Chains A and B, each alone.
Chain A
């Protein structure tokens, strides 16, 4: 039975942990125990987890160095905000359209740029991210540099479960033959081609999925924040996301989750000294390069393998 395959011990444990965590937070929000500042940061963590894991799909899993993630986030943010605030459409529709348009742009941009290697690809993606921002900056309809306001429609439940759903989808993709095809591109592109992997196809696939989830995260962000402005989606945002991925370990989803949580907490702690944030980030990166160049997790996943029966462990 398919359901019994889904509900192996590991998945059941993960699901229960997610429900428990969600319920505790939801309970403390409903009873007004949780201070707003904590709620804000919990929602930011969800948003950054989606951003970091989706960038990892491109940079860590498939080995293509993109640094324009904020551009796709901006597309999702603006498109969803236009639908919910300007056109008064439903939130779910706004989020979906934002993510789909980001994915479509990712696909169109990915086709030509992913032929580039290394530094050239990085520069191209950086350029694309900036172009997206400048387009919104110069569009009167969305308020130019001042941006526009919207009513906050996203709550903890939306953010948390969309984050869980995104991570599950990316995890399922990575742990499949299509995910292995992406990984083979990272490992050795020449050998991957020789083994029948259409490397261009899988680069574009990873890039499109990555852009989709960046767009989704942007939509959650815009619909929580009351206001969106082009400045939010500058190169520095792409850099923040990249730091989370690198700290957690290129190629590890759980690493990206740790990275997103860690960096969001650091930012929150230093909220009154924003200038120190960059200094600490830079120091962290240097320390990591010296002591653990592969990041916290390397390409490995934090695993609950001990929860599985022996037979299951080998088969998966």
Chain B
């Protein structure tokens, strides 16, 4: 078991954003977390990555409790995320965005940087090479020197995923990666996500608001509504679940 969330709850004052959450993810799975607006999906990511401390419950990642860790420590343990509202290093180049996420794996010290020792040059060369390789996967290698905030929206979303992968996570957390994309871009993104999972051999937890999208790529889906898991199963089971249909009432399922 890669991730084991047990009875996790989070309250903001009187509001229970997440209550009694139980999620299990095995290595290599591609899992969906869906639910209507304000259901608590992003809060789950914020709890997992140490942005918030849980009010109750446990989160075991590779068997070890990660609650109480700072966000950067969680990343060092092997989880990396993207943000629903894009948070790139906007004024920096595309390639620098990726290199920053490589930092924890950097192979030279501050001293060797200051004295420009051989380790600095080989370390920088390696980072440059790996960053370009990663950008290539996302068809961004041609834009490596461009300023991140000048990229079109869809490319900014892809760059966020590339940056998260640079942290070399075991579990990749994607928060509505297709938000704001047109159907064509969304379709390509879903193909890409599938490909990433195979190629990098990682586990992915994907938040989506749009159900039809998740149905296509995820093996299992958790449905969250008002902070509570109301359904869990494979796409076929979720589609026909009356509770899910009710939660999404008025919205078109599939």
Which residues does A use to contact B, with CB under 8 Å?
2, 5-6, 169, 172-173, 176-181, 183-184, 187-188, 190-199, 205, 299, 315
Contacts and interface: CB of A to CB of B under 8 A. Distances in A.
A176 B120 CA distance: 8
A177 B102 contact: yes
A172 B114 contact: yes
A249 to B, nearest CB: 13
Contacts of A178: 103, 110, 113
A188 B120 contact: no
A5 B118 CA distance: 9
B103 A197 contact: yes
B110 A173 contact: yes
Contacts of A199: 72
Contact of A188 (B90, B102, B123, B125): B90
Size bracket of the B interface: 35 or more
B17 to A, nearest CB: 18
B152 to A, nearest CB: 19
B91 interface: yes
- Chain B, interface SS category: helix
B92 A187 contact: yes
A196 B75 contact: yes
5 contacts: A173-B114, A177-B123, A188-B87, A193-B72, A195-B167
Contacts of A169: 114
B245 to A, nearest CB: 35
A172 B116 CA distance: 7
B80 interface: yes
- Chain A, interface SS category: helix
A315 B80 CA distance: 28
B190 interface: no
Contact of A195 (B75, B106, B115): B75
Contacts of B114: 169, 172-173, 176
B88 interface: yes
Contacts of B49: 194
Q: Which residue, of A5, A169, A180, A205, has the highest number of chain B Cβ atoms within 10 A?
A: A180
Contacts of A191: 83, 87-89
B91 A187 contact: yes
Interface string B46-68: 00010100000000000000000
Interface in B222-240: none
Nearest to B82: A194
B108 interface: yes
Nearest to B87: A191
B95 to A, nearest CB: 10
Q: Which residue, of B108, B114, B166, B167, has the highest number of chain A Cβ atoms within 10 A?
A: B114
Contact of A196 (B99, B104, B128): B104
B28 interface: no
B157 interface: no
Interface in B73-96: 75-76, 80-81, 83, 87-92, 96
Given A194-B49, A315-B128, A177 B108 contact: yes
A184 B75 CA distance: 15
A198 B90 contact: no
B80 A194 contact: yes
Contacts of B101: 195-196
Nearest to A198: B72
Q: Which residue, of A176, A193, A196, has the highest number of chain B Cβ atoms within 10 A?
A: A196
Nearest to B98: A195
B163 interface: yes
B100 interface: yes
A181 B103 contact: yes
Contacts of B92: 183-184, 187
B87 A176 contact: no
A278 to B, nearest CB: 32
A196 B103 CA distance: 8
Q: Which residue, of A180, A181, A194, has the highest number of chain B Cβ atoms within 10 A?
A: A194
B117 interface: yes
A178 B99 CA distance: 11
Given A176-B124, A188-B88, 8 more contacts: A173-B113, A173-B114, A176-B114, A177-B106, A181-B103, A187-B90, A195-B80, A198-B70
A180 B100 contact: yes
